[in-house]
Amino acid sequence: MLRLVVDLNRCQGYAQCAFLAPDVFAMHGDEGLLYDPQAEAAQRERVAQAAAACPVQAILVEELEASDA
């Protein structure tokens, strides 16, 4: 499992995460962001892409150990 935190004060609604990991991040209207704070390990690569692509670097990802199996 992955633990996600998005700093919604930084988030500017660029939606790059919602393009790159659409099963974890979703747009609510044009600017609001919804996300799954405990994403499946299978989403790891996409979440990493999303975090790297965030123009304001608002996404923090932490690996939750022992729940990967």
Residues lying near another protein in the complex (CB under 8 A): 14-16, 18-20, 22, 25-30, 45, 48-49, 52-53, 55-57
**Minimum CB–partner distance for residue 42 and another protein (Å):** 14
H helices present in 1-43, as ranges: 16-20
Nearer to another protein, 22 or 37 (CB): 22
Do residues 54 and 20 lie in contact, with contact meaning Cβ atoms separated by under 8 Å?
no
Smaller CB separation from another protein, 1 or 26: 26
